[in-house]
Chain A
Amino acid sequence: MKANDVILTPEQREKLLRDSWISHDGQWALKTIQEFGFDAASRLNQAAARSQGKIEIKRLMAATKWGEIKDAEDFKRLLAIACDLYMPEEHKYEIEQFQDNSVLGRVLECYVYKNVSKAGATTYFRCAAKSRFTSWLEGCALKREVIAERDMDNCKGTCEITFKIRW
């Protein structure tokens, strides 16, 4: 490596940060599993996601000067920006809005499932997506319900997460 020949784009830098964040989260889970088993690790993972979620969405809203979320369309746009920023490239998903004003996140390839699957732990480890997204809605000060019917042991890396919000 020569002294002045390295230029990382902001996108490369963000990818490195996002990937290390995910690795760190994964290492907390793994070390907790090794120390206390899957039940405790799943419980702590969900609690951490729940505590973290509202903070990360509030920070994003502050950084974007979002203001109050007025309707489902507005929430869908925020969800798209948040997922783009916080989820890694290999997480494939679509976001739809329905006539009843609910918003659906359809996960086509889940990065968490992929990592847990590599560790051979999908039977034992619980998904924290519902905790994180419920917390996002709390952070957005929306009256809500998040419906996610699948878990790690039956999702095969795909799922549908519905945000039912009372406007």
Chain B
Amino acid sequence: MKLPEKDELKELLVKNWMTHDAMWFYHSLQECGIEKTNRINKAAIRDMAAIEIKRIQKAVGAGNFDTWDEFKRFFEITMGIATGKFMNYRYSLPARNIMHGEWESCFAYEGIKALGVIDRYECGIMLRIDTWLDTLGIKYEVEPKVTGCMMHTDGKCFRDYRFFFEKKSQRRR
């Protein structure tokens, strides 16, 4: 027996959390169909994600985000905490107020496809991120606006976020 390394423990927790979520989805689907399951799933994500991001904000001692640099740093920390390697995403913050995220594969897409309802599934992954931003009171625009599963309809998934942080004003002497 060997005790898992710290990063393995984190991966284990994230994987089991997502599996538990998937099991709720699966059993709810059996009980009440995809429309109601979508509604319950999204409502649960919204309320969970709002709590989640406030907890992370508190844990790292962050206040409101007045600048792009502060937000960028916080977002990087949050993604480091809340996501697992198996999620297979990449994101970049290539310029002030710009964020691009993309998925080579998506665990939610694979799971829901296996359940046979991917054509009617409404994405909960991006809802979690959008709820973080909404809860933090951050103004943003996102393209494309997708309710369903982009991996299913387009064979790839990405989002472009534009934020509205103003350039920090320079102090005059």
Residues of A within 8 A of B (CB): 1, 3-4, 6, 8, 10, 12-14, 16-21, 23-25, 27-28, 30-32, 35-36, 40, 43-44, 47-49, 51-52, 55-56, 59-60, 63-67, 81, 85-86
Query: CB-CB < 8 A to A52: which residues of B?
Result: 16, 19-20, 23
Q: Is B140 an interface residue (CB 8 A)?
A: no
Of B20, B55, B69, the contact of A16 (CB 8 Å cutoff) = B55
* Chain A neighbourhood of B31, CB < 8 A: 36, 40, 43-44
Give the dominant DSSP class at A's interface. helix
User: Which of chain A's residues has its CB closest to B60's CB?
Assistant: A6
Residues of A within 8 A of B32 (CB): 35-36, 40
In the complex, chain B residues 30-89 whose Cβ is within 8 Å of any chain A Cβ: 31-32, 36, 39-41, 43-45, 47-48, 51-52, 55-56, 59-63, 69-70, 73-74, 77, 81-82
Cβ-defined partner of B28 (8 Å) among A8, A12, A17, A32: A32
Q: How far is the CB of B133 from chain A (nearest CB, A)?
A: 16
26 contacts between A and B (CB under 8 A): A1-B61, A1-B62, A1-B63, A6-B61, A8-B59, A16-B59, A16-B82, A17-B81, A20-B17, A20-B48, A24-B17, A27-B43, A27-B48, A28-B24, A31-B40, A35-B40, A40-B31, A44-B31, A48-B23, A48-B24, A51-B27, A55-B16, A63-B9, A64-B1, A85-B9, A85-B13
Interface hub of B26, B28, B59, B60 (most chain A Cβ within 10 A): B28
Distance in Å from the Cβ of B24 to the closest Cβ of chain A?
Answer: 4
Q: Please report the C-alpha to C-alpha distance between residue A65 and residue B2 in the assembled complex, in whole angstroms.
A: 6
Give how many B residues have a beta carbon under 8 Å from the other chain's beta carbons.
Answer: 50
Q: Separation in Å of the B107 CB from the closest CB of chain A?
A: 14
> Would B10 and A13 count as touching, CB distance under 8 A?
yes
Given A1-B63, A85-B9, does the pair A24, B26 have CB atoms closer than 8 Å? no
